[in-house]
Structure 1
Amino acid sequence: MKKTLLILALLFCIITSSKAQVVGTDIGDIAPEIDLPNPKGENVALSSLRGSLVLVDFWASWCGPCIKEQPLLLKMHNAYPDKLSIYGVSMDTKKPLWLGAIAKGKLPWTNVSDLKYWTSPVVGDYMLQSVPLNFLVDKNGIIVAKNIHGKALEDMVKSILEQ
């Protein structure tokens, strides 16, 4: 009886201490799927960008800090065109404002939006409370950093891509 309890206790410890990879928003988690329409109305899945480092960037045309960071994103996009993909998820609710911000910022990367803002399914999946918010996702779809901006983002991307 003691042996059985000991074995059960050992198995319980092994099972509860193992960290299985899950879909979530913590570093080390598999990034939740996003499959939203681009400006042409064609759905683009986040998973379609696997194989490269992906910056999932939640932004909006009315978000000053989001717009302020776009030149840095453009610089990184141009520095690593074959290694870094940017997947911009707009939280706008008005298509003209979303498209105008893309045109004004000359944003060449994948931009998607369902124009639903807080009622969009991605809000819950990514626990979005405000923008800007971003997730750096490795080539296998694993989150390696989140909510990292400016020089810290640039340095992290550089260190990952120039290994």
Structure 2
Amino acid sequence: MSLRLSLTCLASALLLAGCDRGADDAAQQQGELAAEKQALSGEIDRTFAGELMPAVNVSDPAGNTLNLGALQGQPVLLNLWATWCAPCVVEMPMLDNVADEFGDRLRVITVSEDMQGAKRVEPFFAQNKFRNLEPWLDPENDLGFAYGGVMPTTILYDANGQEVFRVAGGYHWDSEEARAAIEEALGK
């Protein structure tokens, strides 16, 4: 077996180990999470600055596709999340607010890594009534594999499609630090 195939198998096993594929329960409700008690310990990491956004296709529940690599021309905040990931669920309203605050200056794209795709994501979006977020899906976990399988992972890309920074793990997107980092990147 080749090294690449072995690594792909290992990454698949790790992602699946964290996924509760058999649960029939709906996503955990916002009210049940006590956001103030969530340990959102992610930090801004500029180690990968300059790397290009991957040319991966994601789809929406209607089957429309979006090639992430073709989004050059506007800064993009790309968030990988799942309904079974408590910090991800806590972040979603904050990301919706970021999208609202920055408007046309920043496109916020949330991509679900749920293996059950639209079956899990559509009810979650319907219940939470996000004003600015769209339900993009990556049921094959191409992005999850590309970014190491940590949920949530959020990456800011500049208008040239180059990474500015990323956050692996939950983060307070409503913080002054987050707003300042985004403003700094948009000012370039």
| 1:162 shift after superposition | 5.3
SS of 2:69's equivalent? Answer: helix
Determine the C-alpha separation between the residues in 2 that align with 1:26 and 1:66. 22
1:112 aligned to which of 136, 155, 159: 136
| 1:41 shift after superposition | 0.7
Evaluate the alpha carbon distance shift between residue 105 and residue 47 of structure 1 in structure 2; reply closer, same or farther with a 3 A threshold.
farther
Asked whether 1:135 is paired with 2:155, we answer yes
TM-score w.r.t. length of structure 2: 0.64
Asked whether 1:28 is paired with 2:50, we answer yes
Identity %: 26
Determine the C-alpha separation between the residues in 1 that align with 2:83 and 2:138. 14
- In structure 2, the residue matched to 1:154 is 179
Asked whether 1:46 is paired with 2:68, we answer yes
- In structure 2, the residue matched to 1:80 is 102
- In structure 2, the residue matched to 1:13 is none
Evaluate the alpha carbon distance shift between residue 162 and residue 30 of structure 1 in structure 2; reply closer, same or farther with a 3 A threshold.
closer
C-alpha contact (below 8 Å) 2:57/2:67 kept by paired residues? yes
C-alpha contact (below 8 Å) 2:78/2:108 kept by paired residues? yes
Structure (1 or 2) with the larger CA radius of gyration: 1
Code of the aligned partner of 2:96: L
Determine the C-alpha separation between the residues in 2 that align with 1:77 and 1:48. 20
- In structure 2, the residue matched to 1:22 is none
Q: Which one is further off, 57-66 or 26-35? A: 26-35
TM-score w.r.t. length of structure 1: 0.73
- In structure 2, the residue matched to 1:69 is 91
Structure 1 residue runs of 5 or longer lacking an equivalent are: 1-24
Correspondences of 1:83-98 after superposition (within 5 Å): 83-94=105-116, 95-98=118-121
Code of the aligned partner of 2:78: V
Per-residue CA deviation, residues 52-78 of structure 1 (Å, 9 max, x unaligned), is: 211110001111111111222111111
- In structure 2, the residue matched to 1:37 is 59
* RMSD, aligned α-carbons: 2.0
Structure 2 residue runs of 5 or longer lacking an equivalent are: 1-46
